[in-house]
Structure 1
């Protein structure tokens, strides 16, 4: 699949997570594209014994932190190199379950239910919400949390957009689709698919850094 090839290529370009964060912690949760910035796993309401699913877990840093908090942490990704990197770094963490799967296919085929589902610059950005949101809702326990983050939409560029993943100078970039909306449209869309208590907003970038913030969306299943 073209998209699998794109994410395999991205994996080779994506650097490894630091050994520790600014607080000296070996695991931590980061919703934004900036280090040591923004809220953490409290957005998910994670507690020991909870069941949590990450859509597009990549190299597994956020998911490993969820597992360290005592939750059963399931992560799916279409890229084998991404999962290999996650297993190499975090394979010794208990309660961590990594699987190779496409997000909607996994949600449609599994009979598991989750207390929380999340995506950080992952599958929630790169999957048609008309397909993804009903699938997420049916896999959440009543009152369960769905949260995701990614770059905010460029003004006037809404709906399905193209993202480009660079290759060598002699090769054309690989293209994947993403879905961009303003916060108020995300609220309306999630409500349409049965979610409640929906909040959406842009976290500003850290002072003195780039100006592009991070869209953070949070909702509950009925």
Structure 2
């Protein structure tokens, strides 16, 4: 029997369950947008931020890498289990702050702005973009970038879709995710005020089936506003 979960915290508590091991050595931590090691772009998609916010960070591997490069990073995850592991793993990284919470609630209550907000197969995939995107735009500095990735999904699955998994005691549970092709993501970003939007599906490496959708967008800065006014 399927038990539909309205408490996704329990679902994500069980994500990557091997949580008691040591942190990976810093030299093997890479910035990966896809599930395939060494495939596709890296942190260069974020530009050269001084501050960053990651939504749905789980293990915080990429956030720890950015922080060790001197970026002041805030990482957010819904699951207290994921947050506990990440805080234990990266407790010695001074410019990394790891917070527990839901993405939209956190953004509504946050009074900081960030040079970049990003998500790697994380909260952007699992949050209604019509609710999330305006909040992201409010928390980005002028000219700041918004980048996210998620797994390729069949083109016939659009909008809000259930994703199945195992919850406590092995019960089947679902969480909602928002499935869109690149052109739909681009349209959503434009609709919520982002510019310089690029959305694409990066093909999987040879021998693998699942590609990765990557979306890049930017909040207008003062120069963009001035140009728009003069026209």
User: What is the TM-score when the length of structure 2 is the normalising length?
Assistant: 0.87
Deviations 1:107-133 (A, max 9, x none): 011110000000001000000001000
Cα RMSD of the aligned pairs, angstroms, is 2.0
Corresponding residue of 1:51: 51
Over 3 Å counting, the alpha-carbon distance change for 1:16 and 1:65 in structure 2 is farther
Counterpart of 2:197 in structure 1 is 198
Note if contact 1:46-1:69 (Cα within 8 Å) is conserved in structure 2: no
The answer as to whether partners of 1:73 and 1:96 remain within 8 angstroms in 2 is yes
The correspondence for 1:40, drawn from 26, 39, 42, is 42
CA displacement, residues 117-154 of structure 1 (integer Å, 9 cap, x when unaligned): 00001000000001000000000011100000001221
Identify the residue that residue 219 of structure 2 maps to in structure 1. 221
**Residue 30 of structure 1 corresponds to which residue in structure 2?**
32
Is the contact between residue 9 and residue 165 of structure 1 (CA under 8 Å) also seen in structure 2? no
> Which consecutive residues of structure 2, in runs of 5 or more, have no partner in the other structure?
1-5, 221-231
1:6 aligned onto 2:11: yes
- Is the CA contact 2:23–2:90 (under 8 Å) kept in the aligned structure 1? no
Query: Shift of the alpha carbon at 1:25?
Result: 2.6
Partner of 1:126: 126
Counterpart Cα distance in 2 of 1:84 and 1:194: 35
Q: How does 1:59-78 map to 2 (within 5 A)?
A: 59-78=59-78
**Secondary structure of 1:162's aligned partner:** strand
SS at match of 2:206: coil
What secondary structure sits across from 1:37 in the alignment?
coil
- The alignment's TM-score, normalised by the length of structure 1, stands at 0.90
Judged with a 3 Å threshold, the aligned counterparts in structure 2 of structure 1 residues 106 and 94 are, in CA distance, closer, same or farther, namely same
Aligned residue pairs total 215
Cα distance per residue 1:181-221 (max 9 Å; x no partner) = 1111111110000000000001111123x121100000001
Choose between structure 1 and 2: higher helix proportion.
Answer: 2
**Which residue matches 2:206?**
207
Matched, 1:187 2:186: yes
Q: Verify the 8 A CA contact 2:19 2:85 in the aligned structure 1.
A: no
Shift of 1:19: 3.2
Alignment partners' CA distance in 2, 1:138 and 1:53: 13
Distance in 2, matches of 1:87 and 1:155, equals 37
